[in-house]
Amino acid sequence: MSAAVEVRGLRKSYGKVEAVKGVGFEVLPGEVFGFLGPNGAGKTTTISMLCTLVNPTGGTATVAGHDVVTERDEVRRNIGLVFQDPTLDGYLTAEQNLRFHAELYGVPKHLVADRLRQVMEMVALWDRKDSKVMTFSGGMKRRLEIARGLLHSPRVLFLDEPTVGLDPQTRAAIWGYINQLRQTEDITIFMTTHYMDEAEYCDRIAIIDHGEIVVVDSPEALKASVGKDRVQIQTGDDQAAIKALRERFGLDAQIREGQVTFGVPGGEEFVPRLFAELGLPIRSVSVSRPSLDDVFMEYTGSTIRDAESEGSKNQWMKVMARR
């Protein structure tokens, strides 16, 4: 079976700014593929090119076997889209919004009623079908958009940050639907996220940073590749602690999220040595198995939260410089 999404050397520049710098990857049919990276890493630009919304500056991409530039309508027929920002008509009812979609996509008339009910029941909105969408909460709107994205049985469903800005309960519900979908529908899911815990649900993830793909693999394989546990300590003098770690243990520690952080194989066995040999008072210590945070840090050199605050700092400076 050929790949659901195949991307080679895909680039996008806006003027001099290179938003996506030649990415390449394949998404296999039936998998949940996650695009993980901080805000501004190029996730939305990439997804927009795959959805035929933005023309690439260079490279090629096929979705469901169709080229995103030359076979645009074929691609559109085969994909479902859920955007970050809502794209519903608040003045219409939930059902009217979905009917609009069915007609626009040319869903065969005899199937519309059944399919509509099915997708609305899946997201538990069937009993609200006659309510105007403007009365819906953010979570309900997102659920309705997911239902709409599935209405025409797309081969590939694109979800751009599907859970951003939602409460934990709704986030869990949305992941429930995604898992259900994998069982009931013959569908490939391509999603972007900057939540590490959500990336864990994916079959494979691609880490994207500064417009480039750093690594692609399953979450387990990525975590195993780190090979070290993450140790975080709090001390009275962090700089001295970093120096001591380098001199006595040959460990390269950094301050992450306000704590001295370093990776070391067999972290739990290392802690007694740390207390005995560091030569500085330690206030607290925590050891954790490698998480995707560590994977991200291993491959990009910073945690995703730091990358985002750095990114927003840069944006802020750009704004200030423009004045």
Q: How far apart are CA 263 and CA 293, in angstroms?
A: 12
**Order of strands across the sheet with 254-256?**
254-256, 259-264, 229-235, 282-288
Query: To which residue do tokens 């120096």 refer?
Result: 243
H-state helical runs in the chain: 43-50, 72-78, 94-105, 109-122, 138-150, 168-184, 196-199, 219-226, 238-244, 267-277, 292-300, 304-322
Q: How far apart are CA 60 and CA 69, in angstroms?
A: 8
Closest distance between other proteins and the C-beta of residue 92, in Å?
7
* Selected binder of other proteins within 103, 167, 269, 310 (CB under 8 A): 103
Closest distance between other proteins and the C-beta of residue 237, in Å?
52
* Selected binder of other proteins within 1, 17, 104, 321 (CB under 8 A): 104
Nearest of 25, 3, 32 to residue 208 by alpha carbon: 25
Q: How far apart are CA 181 and CA 176, in angstroms?
A: 9
* Selected binder of other proteins within 27, 61, 107, 222 (CB under 8 A): 107
**Nearest residue (CB) to other proteins, 115 versus 230:** 115
* Selected binder of other proteins within 96, 131, 234, 291 (CB under 8 A): 96
Q: Could you say which residues in the range 1-40 bind other proteins, by CB under 8 A?
A: none
Q: Check residue 121 for interaction with other proteins (CB under 8 A).
A: yes
Residue type, 29: P
- List the beta bridge partners of residue 284: 234
* Selected binder of other proteins within 86, 126, 203, 234 (CB under 8 A): 86
**Nearest residue (CB) to other proteins, 126 versus 299:** 126
Contact 218, 261 (CB under 8 A): no
* Selected binder of other proteins within 9, 14, 70, 90 (CB under 8 A): 90
Q: Could you say which residues in the range 179-208 bind other proteins, by CB under 8 A?
A: 183-186
Q: Check residue 167 for interaction with other proteins (CB under 8 A).
A: no
Q: Could you say which residues in the range 40-59 bind other proteins, by CB under 8 A?
A: 51-53, 55
Nearest of 142, 5, 147, 32 to residue 87 by alpha carbon: 142
* Binding segment toward other proteins, per CB under 8 A, in 33-41, 177-185, 239-247, 297-305: 177-185
Q: Check residue 99 for interaction with other proteins (CB under 8 A).
A: yes
What is the contact surface with other proteins in residues (CB under 8 A)? Answer: 51-53, 55, 73-74, 76-77, 81, 83, 85-92, 96, 99-101, 103-108, 111, 114-115, 118, 121-122, 151-153, 183-186
